[in-house]
Amino acid sequence: MFKKLISNILILSVIVSMMPATALIATAASLSAMSDTMSSQTISANSSHVIRFTTPTGAGTTAQTIVITFPSGFNFTSKTIGTVSFTHGASTGAESTETLAASPSATAWGAAFSGTSNVILTLTTPTDGVGSAVLAPNDKVIITYDSTNSINPGTAANYAITLNANGDTGSITVPIITNSQVAITATVDQSLSFSVSNNAIGFGSLTTSNSRFATSNGLGASAEPTNAHTLSASTNAASGYSVAVSGATLTSGANTITAIPGATATALAPATEQFGIRGNLASGSGSLVAPFNGAAGSYGFGTSPLTTQPFASSSGASATSVYNVNYAANIAALTEAGSYTTTLTYVATANF
């Protein structure tokens, strides 16, 4: 009896001594530095998950697994492995990215969903135990689910996600709440400013010998001034603004001074009846519209009376633009005597 007992003890000793050393030292440990960063903790919302942890043991041989189990309520039913990524490394920012495939191979980790609503994800070590890089002890692991088909539970509560990395275990509690987002609105009201620097200008006496230009003092000039008046415009409209002009040519009773016709600016010609307008951009952004965009000495008007003829425009929100505006007139030898007047109206419109 005693001999038999000794014999059994010896046999057991031999068996134990023949077991692989790894089997003797394999121990489960607790995962550390665990977190799940979600893009939304709102009930029933699609949310990404960035699950991080550090595994003390690692996984360096075949058929070892990392298992992530979401609690009931999460829904990954239609999720595909292609929307999951797996990286790991000794330090943050130096992780190796592993290839995931339906079954493990020499170059890929196996990856498969299981359980109700695919709440369980099992990653299995490559057949060579390495893959892109061996999952070494104390590696920092990052497993990411994008938000596609990753649906939060419909009930607000705490949920514990359990992790098992080759026997190292841990859990992460995440709260799912009614609404984790704050929507904020603000308005910027439309603005449009527009001004005319002088509302009464004059040519003085017209003559056949040279062109006359209107001036702000009403006396007129024979040389083109800087401007008769300015137009200033600004807007915060995203598409800018337009300035249009309307009105008739110079008129005295039934007599008129012929407006400069045509779609483009025309050079002034003394001793012929002409009345025209020319603008140029003094500051800011914006541009003149033909026929009012002529060079010095070239003016335009079009068919009198004008009806909201485009004069200038800006294509985007702009700070104040200033336009110089000049007026030129010529008369013929037999132009009827009289006092010629007209009123031109400028209108700015924002393009909202």
Partner 1 sequence: MKKIIIGLILLVSIGSSIVYAKDLTSAHFIVRDPSIGTGGGYQSSGSFKLYSAGNTNISGNGGTSTSFVGRDGFLQYPQVVSAQLTPTVNGSTVTINWSATTVADGYTVSGYKIGRATVSGGPYTLTSIGNVVTYDYTNQAPGDYYFILQTLDAFGNVIATSNEVTATVSETLSFSISANALSFGPLTVGGPRYATTSSGSSTLTPAHNIVAASNASTGYTIIYNGTTLDSNGNTIAPATISGSTTGTPGTNQFALSLLSQGIATVPTSYDQTSQNWNFAQNTLSTIAATTGPTATATLNAYYIANIPTLAASGTYRTTITYEITANY
Q: In angstroms, rounded to a whole number, what is the distance separating the alpha carbons of residues 109 and 101?
A: 6
Q: In angstroms, rounded to a whole number, what is the distance separating the alpha carbons of residues 312 and 265?
A: 14
**Binding span for partner 1 by CB under 8 A among 130-138, 188-196, 220-228, 285-293:** 188-196
Question: Closest separation between CB of residue 45 and partner 1, Å?
Answer: 10
Residue whose tokens read 């209107």: 214
**Binding span for partner 1 by CB under 8 A among 9-17, 140-148, 212-220, 235-243:** 235-243
Question: Closest separation between CB of residue 162 and partner 1, Å?
Answer: 12
Q: In angstroms, rounded to a whole number, what is the distance separating the alpha carbons of residues 84 and 121?
A: 10
Q: Does 182 bind partner 1 (CB under 8 A)?
A: yes
Q: Which is nearer to partner 1, 37 or 80 (CB)?
A: 37
348 exposure class (CB count in 10 Å sphere: 0-12, 13-18, 19+)? buried
Q: Does 93 bind partner 1 (CB under 8 A)?
A: no
Q: Find out whether 94 and 153 touch, Cβ atoms under 8 Å.
A: no
Q: Which is nearer to partner 1, 17 or 181 (CB)?
A: 181
Amino acid at site 150 = S
Q: Which is nearer to partner 1, 118 or 236 (CB)?
A: 236
Interacting residue with partner 1 among 87, 124, 125, 235 (CB under 8 A): 235
Any idea what the Cα angle at residue 267 is, between residues 261 and 269, rounded to 5°?
90
**Binding span for partner 1 by CB under 8 A among 75-83, 111-119, 169-177, 266-274:** 169-177
Interacting residue with partner 1 among 89, 104, 170, 300 (CB under 8 A): 170
**Binding span for partner 1 by CB under 8 A among 9-17, 100-108, 173-181, 224-232:** 173-181
Write down how long the chain is: 352
Site for partner 1 in 37-56 (CB under 8 A): 37-41
First to last CA, the chain: 104
Interacting residue with partner 1 among 11, 26, 106, 238 (CB under 8 A): 238
Q: Find out whether 220 and 212 touch, Cβ atoms under 8 Å.
A: yes
Any idea what the Cα angle at residue 215 is, between residues 211 and 216, rounded to 5°?
170
Q: Which is nearer to partner 1, 27 or 185 (CB)?
A: 185
Q: Which is nearer to partner 1, 234 or 309 (CB)?
A: 234
146-168: b (≥16 Cβ within 10 Å) or e: bbeebbbbeeeeebebebbbbeb
CA-atom Rg of the chain in angstroms: 42
Q: Is the peptide bond before 305 cis (omega within 30 degrees of 0)?
A: yes
Question: Closest separation between CB of residue 136 and partner 1, Å?
Answer: 21
Q: Which is nearer to partner 1, 91 or 185 (CB)?
A: 185
Q: Which is nearer to partner 1, 176 or 288 (CB)?
A: 176
Interacting residue with partner 1 among 91, 189, 223, 339 (CB under 8 A): 189
**Binding span for partner 1 by CB under 8 A among 81-89, 114-122, 136-144, 186-194:** 186-194
Residue whose tokens read 């800006």: 314
Q: In angstroms, rounded to a whole number, what is the distance separating the alpha carbons of residues 56 and 26?
A: 12
Q: Which of 235, 230, 229, 231 is nearest to 193 (CA)?
A: 235
Interacting residue with partner 1 among 107, 171, 287, 351 (CB under 8 A): 171
Query: How many residues of this chain interact with partner 1, rule: CB under 8 A?
Result: 42
Q: Which of 72, 33, 38 is nearest to 53 (CA)?
A: 33
Interacting residue with partner 1 among 13, 173, 303, 343 (CB under 8 A): 173
Instruction: Kindly list the residues in this chain that would bind partner 1 in the complex (CB under 8 A).
Output: 32-41, 158, 160, 170-175, 177-191, 234-238, 317-319, 352
